[in-house]
Amino acid sequence: MQRNRRLQNQRKLSLKESSVVLNSTRASLVPHTCHRTDLFSDKRAQDLESETDIFPELGLFSMEESSDIAENAGIQKALKESDFFNREVSKDSGEGSMTSDNDDGFQELTSPGDLLIPMWSEIDTEHPEYILEVEVISSWADGIEEEDQQIGEEFMLTEESCPSPGSTGEYSDYGSESGNETVAHLGESILSSLPPVKADYSAENLIPTAPVRVERTFVYPDTVTEPVNLKHEFVTENQVPSIETNTLGCQDISPQNCINIPKLELTDDSGSEKSYSNDGDSEGSSSGKSERKRPGRKKGQVSRVYHLWEFIRDLLNDPLCCPSLIRWENEAEGIFRVVRSEDVAKLWGQKKKNRTAMTYEKMSRSIRYSRKEGYFADLPKDKGYPKKLCFKFGEKSSGWNTTMKTPKTALLN
């Protein structure tokens, strides 16, 4: 732990000079203007000392293992979940307070892999600060042992091979303090349960863009820099850009920006432990082949490519796109409707190697094909849903229902 701590301290994040592709979970940010120190309450510090179940809720570590968190309670912060989804919270609760009616549920900003990059700097009414909870999917290709990449569902990054993605000192969130475990349990189930937004993150530029989950990458500089004074311009709900000017108005991060960024090999939910097909050549058969693994993708193994259903899900989770481009018909049932079919298709084409020839007809064909695979499902009949442009997520898709709060501990299992 101490060594890990040292590593973390040595590897504080430089946000100033690097262009970081972040996989942001909740870019519906909370603008507020207040001093950071105003945000810390004595109650929170007491909670940290007395409530040992705050962090174990995440299944990551216990207070005993992370006494340093308590030590740092005075300089860290937790927000309630409502804070993250309510743009009005700061207005309602007054400057200097992020609290609202709910006082009992501090929402730790930690999910595995989270990195809280918020900066409460100076009060600036013209440029209000934002709190951004960022899902950092990180990878250090040079530092990850090959065998670690092959572990499967539990992608372990050891402290020897990889520093914590968090532990960015004052920029860190709690979860990051757990070090290697933070990343260890990152899995597709967690990722897919959160609406990711691609952000080009630098000192001068922090703009959530079209949801992209292709680059689950993270630049991790070695040097420590001074706190970042963010200058950013989030696109607000009132600034929904026109398609004509810039598809979605989102900043496209060109591939070259990510060219040297290592990719994290994420494990999927279903494939890694599945056996081969029962065609007589499966693993563990009684023949002499049992010791020899057949190369190639296993039957039933889910590809790690960015799937169409993920793209659509991410569109639905992006306030820039939903409901202007695509909208829910019934979120609880996973039924959505494509509003601007050709624009959605073009976006999909851009995501897939910038194909410009993508049409809604082709995309919808993929959707129909995906029905057979279970990523989409047939619309329920006799419920009045329009037949055109209306689709339903299938049982193999996940993460689209943001109205259903899934316990994080469950996600880890």
Residues that bind DNA (CB under 7 A): 265, 277, 279, 295-305, 307-309, 341-342, 348-349, 352-353, 355, 357-358, 360-366, 368-371, 373, 375, 387-390
Quick check: 112 and 55 in contact, CB under 8 A?
A: no
Please, what is the minimum distance in Å from the beta carbon of residue 315 to DNA?
Answer: 14
Residue 36 in tokens: 């950071």
Whose tokens are 């490519």? That residue is: 305
Say how far apart CA 64 and CA 358 lie, in whole Å: 54
Alpha carbons 84 and 176: distance in angstroms, whole number: 19
DSSP secondary structure string, 218-283? Answer: ----SS--PPP-----PPPGGG---TTTSGGGPPP--GGGGTTPPPP-PPPSSSTTPPPPSSS--T
Q: Which is nearer to DNA, 280 or 288 (CB)?
A: 280
Residue 210: CB minimum distance to DNA, A: 15
- The nearest distance, CB 349 to DNA, in angstroms, is 6
Tokens of 248: 């979605």
Helix ranges (DSSP H) in 278-359: 308-316, 341-351
Q: Which is nearer to DNA, 102 or 275 (CB)?
A: 275
d(CA 30, CA 83): 7
Q: Are the beta carbons of 196 and 171 closer than 8 angstroms?
A: no
Shortest distance, CB of residue 295 to DNA, whole angstroms? 4
CB 273 to DNA: min, Å: 12
Q: In angstroms, what is the minimal distance from the CB of 133 to DNA?
A: 27
Comparing CB distances to DNA, the nearer of 255 and 407 is: 255
Q: Using the minimum distance from each CB to DNA, give the nearer residue, 292 or 387.
A: 387
Q: Which of 293, 268, 273 is nearest to 283 (CA)?
A: 293
Please say which residue, 16 or 362, places its beta carbon nearer to DNA: 362
Decide whether 32 or 392 has the Cβ nearer to DNA.
392
The pair of structure tokens assigned to 271 is 């494939």
